[in-house]
Structure 1
Amino acid sequence: MSEAAHRPLFHLRRAFAGSRVGRGPKHANQSFELTWVQQGHIQFDLGRSTLDAAAGTCVVLTDDGENTPVVRAAVLHQLWLPGTWLEEAAGALGPRASVPRFSAVHPADSRLTAHIRLVMEEIESGVPASDPGLGALMDSLLYGLVRGSAPERQHRQRDARIQRALERIAGEYADALRVEDLAEAAGMCRYSFLRAFRASVGESPYQYLQGFRLERAAERIRLRRDASVLETALACGFGDPGRFARAFRARFGCAPREYRARHSG
């Protein structure tokens, strides 16, 4: 694609601290909005449907329709791409390519998410839009978007039953929640709830609860320096400190004390 290194890029890093849920404002996209969730969780209310994105995943919102973001304790990186750029990329590839029609969440281990993250990291590190290397990365990203990629969860109807279970997790994550407790909140039998939860959220109730607890623990470690790691583990629903430390390292790449030291500035 021509003039790839001369496209103006609009990239923004947003950080939301605390346990309060932030909502809005409702807005319409004039371009494609790419959101990489570095930490935390974000939900996009699309009116008749919703998209839920956990840490590591990437959301691609199309330029068609309105959305309302709902976020809690998250670090987000966002990049906006005009639809004309994607149309140009699709035209260059021919009939096998097309501009995405539906908003979607792409998993953390997908090739497209890795590519989006790389572009955002390059921009944040100070590489100018005129850099030929960044221009080549952008071309590759645009081609990847129009070729298509298997999304984790596509545009779908909101399931109010699963939403009730998610709200119970948000309010009682420190307690000994069982699948049966969440199924009861959803008003479903255990088997139906497990299937519906995975279809709606993209992971099992246990995986989601574990991730939610770890995100709250990381937040407490960053913001409450007077609390010990053990106190933090217990306050976030982990009864076994050793298990907490292993799960924390697997999610954040370091031990809780090292994580605190990295965020002490």
Structure 2
Amino acid sequence: MRNLASLRSPRIAVLALLPALLLIVLAAPCQAQEKATATAPGGANATLIEPGDAMRTVQSVVLFGLVSLAPVALLMITPFVRINIVLVLLRQALGSPQVPGNQVLMALSLLLSALVMRPVGERVYHDAVEPYMAGKANAMDSWNVGAKPIKTFMVEQILRTNHQDYLWSIYQHSAESKAGLADPEEPDQFPLGVVAPAFILSELTTALMIGFYLYLPFLIIDLVVSSVLAAMGLFMLPPTLVAMPVKLIVFVLIDGWLLVAEMLLSGFSVSGA
């Protein structure tokens, strides 16, 4: 019994010391802060954050928030949606769903989108970013000036594809129409919150239409190959096994990738480019 009591006594002592150790650990930072406050000039007022530092912190948070929204902006205001969907449908029409890979199509879509949006980006930089960095314009004025060429680009693509009815359909569900304001008379007068979803819907419709046209020649090749195999009595041979190399060689001989890229680039109009 004495041995058991001697073994338990150190454990009990350690358990009794744990609350005291926790209090010491928690009190150490408070004591250090009190000492720093006492030694700093001005006492407690020295620990307050200056307005300039707070403003810089807020600006940094806003900047990081805008950077995190970059993928959303890439989908909203650029031709990336149309180009990427067309390239994916083209890959499926070729009969090779894994070649080229998604990374290759993504990179090609980004490069073609950057080529289309370069004139717009240059105007935004010269008209909005440079005056703001030079201190000649505030954030709100720079935003209004920078958003104008982007909205003009999206409106031009909507009108080019004859989807201006998308603007009116979305405008009827917007807050501006329910506020009793005067309806826009020109497409440029629609707010950016209406133009952006109408642009995405227009791009989706146009991309599917282009994909339909790209599917037709490959569908004809599939039908011809199937008819030839059926006429030869080769019913056990899958038609896709013979049609895929035929589609690949035909697509390569006509420089299909270059033709599709030129078609996608020519489908976008940029005023003042």
TM-score, normalization by structure 2: 0.22
User: Which protein has the bigger strand share?
Assistant: 1
Which structure has more relative contact order (CA 8 Å, sep 6+)? It is 2
Greater share of residues in helix: 2
